[in-house]
Structure 1
Amino acid sequence: MTAKVGNTSKVSTAVAGNSPPKRRVAKEKRVESELRKLREITKGAIPDEKRKTVMPLLANLAFLKVKLDDARADLLYEDIFTEYDNGGGQTGLREHPGFSAYNKLFTTFSRGVKQLTDMMPNGTAAADALIDFINETRYG
């Protein structure tokens, strides 16, 4: 594998001589935890022939849930609109960029959950558990 100079994303921590930041490790563990929850929720509810196809979706949903939780915590005390000054004499209010990003994340998360629920039979315990998982993101 050849990498461009300056591209350290492929360099392992052993080669780089340092460890990943603790915050990064904590986030990776949170994503793994959410992925375990999703695997458990969908274990008996997704037919085996669809299971392999669903795994990347579960990984993305776990990632999105962690990002949404972090974004919500970061935005909790922020105003929805923020002042701007472009330096050319133009000033005003604009939507806080964090809220725009949060809305995009939540839309993507919601679509993924819809895909997942469409693969599950209605009224099953797994579908109910998935609703609880969504509510953790929405209200947690």
Structure 2
Amino acid sequence: MSDGRSRRGSLHHAPLVIDTASFARFAAEWKREIELTTSSRFRSKHNIAPEHMYPHHLLHESQAVSVPTLQVYRDSSYLGLDNLWPLTCIGLRHLRLRRPKFVCLNDNFGERPHPVSVRLTERFLEASYPEPSRF
């Protein structure tokens, strides 16, 4: 990505599809920076995040396309799952109505999840994905 240093958006709570050949080229180009990052005991301002840089590498290599923000919001969704089960219920109901193509459920339950929140989430997942994933 020799187009220089600049501010770029980043993907959050989204699937990261990796083409191994393309990622190998990316890793070779950024080898030194990746090695410095992995050798850092603590985060440094010179560290890089390959998982955030790789999508930009794909754009730069014309191996990906950018989509409008409205489409991103239409096709994907994020929901933090909480022990406040009424909020979890509202959030899951909203997802059922919207039916986005991709959903990120972030487990914020902590060490003692509320049983109602857990059951609501299980029912949502069972209804949304009746066939077990091969993963």
TM-score category by the smaller chain? under 0.3
Give the number of the structure whose residues are more often helix, by fraction: 1
The TM-score with structure 2 as length reference comes to 0.24
The TM-score with structure 1 as length reference comes to 0.23
